[in-house]
Amino acid sequence: MIAAPPLLVIAGATATGKTGLAIRVALAMREEGVPAEVISADSRQVFQGLDIGTAKATLAERQGVPHHGLDLVAPDTPFSVADFVAHVEDVLPPLAAAGGLAILVGGTGLYLRAIARGLDTAALPSDPAVRARLETEFLAVGLEPLVERLRTVAPDRAARIDAQNPRRVVRALEIATLDGGQGPLPAARGYDGPVTWIGLTVDASTHASRIAKRARAQFDAGLIEEARALRERYDPALPAFSAIGYREAWAVLDGTLTREAAIAEDARRNQAFAKRQRTWFRAEPDVTWLDGTAEAPDEAALGAARRLVGGQELRR
């Protein structure tokens, strides 16, 4: 067991306002004398250089609030949920010792669950040779054949993961290869401190508009140039670049999509991604869902943070 500070989880689909809310709550708590720090739970923001395309908070947007979970590895470095857990387990004890508050925010459901529910990631079978073979196969034949195989050997797991995420598909197939697709997911051991989950939702029309505006803003902010620089340094087939936006930007560079068509495709894929995220989060218990378009999320989240620090929230 590690020393764990109170934990506020802010969950929800992409473009619901989670990061901004986390920063505002952290700032308010810090003004009240509580060291509050933000931990990003986003499986693409761990990669260095993937900034605009992953909607990573800029240094200015972080406003002096310590952030973790960002820029941990290069895009060509494998990174798993177990690596994320190890990173966070280094962050939590100093924050607990300082009497602080951890704010875990993001849309990668497995990352959130691994920390806030205490999943025993070490209990999942692992074999580097099997994983290497599957990664080589992915590079050779693409993602769809691997997804179809996973649906055949482990349909329940296939239904629970992001089938557009090569890293998740490869890892799920690795586990299925080793346990025959029948092994259970690791049990939740719980978090070693008080924890509260809140989630943000946005009505369908507003959400679609937000996603479309963000896609355009990312292209306006230099996504094409960011994608060009990354492709010059790294293999574009790397799983890290399954993050929405990069393939669309490369298509503009290659002349196979116009800029407007790329923006539209980016928005379409993000809407589909948000639907998968909503499906995942519907299975999470004990989440207080808030309207992400109202003023209430700030008040409710700040109230939850204060109760956590005051020891009034139960462990879950």
Domain assignment present for 314: no
User: What is the four-CA torsion angle of 24, 280, 285, 303, rounded to 10 degrees?
Assistant: 10
> Is residue 59's pLDDT more than 90?
yes
| C-alpha to C-alpha distance for 169 and 257, rounded to whole angstroms | 27
User: What is the CATH number for 11?
Assistant: 3.40.50.300
**199 and 77 in a common domain:** yes
Q: Which residue would you say has higher pLDDT here, 196 or 188?
A: 196
107: tokens are 């849309």
pLDDT at res. 315:
42
Over residues 1-12, mean pLDDT:
91
Domain assignment present for 268: yes
Mean predicted lDDT score pLDDT of the chain: 90
| C-alpha to C-alpha distance for 228 and 253, rounded to whole angstroms | 8
Q: How do residues 243-254 score in pLDDT, each as one tens digit? A: 999 999 999 999
**303 and 191 in a common domain:** yes
Over residues 161-169, mean pLDDT:
80
Tokens 């994608």 belong to residue: 227
| C-alpha to C-alpha distance for 57 and 45, rounded to whole angstroms | 9
pLDDT at res. 316:
42
**215 and 102 in a common domain:** yes
**258 and 140 in a common domain:** no
Range with lowest mean pLDDT among 45-49, 102-106, 140-144, 183-187 = 183-187
Q: How do residues 15-55 score in pLDDT, each as one tens digit? A: 999 999 999 999 999 999 999 999 999 999 999 999 999 99
User: What is the CATH number for 131?
Assistant: 1.10.20.140
Burial class (CB in 10 A: 0-12, 13-18, 19+), 152: exposed
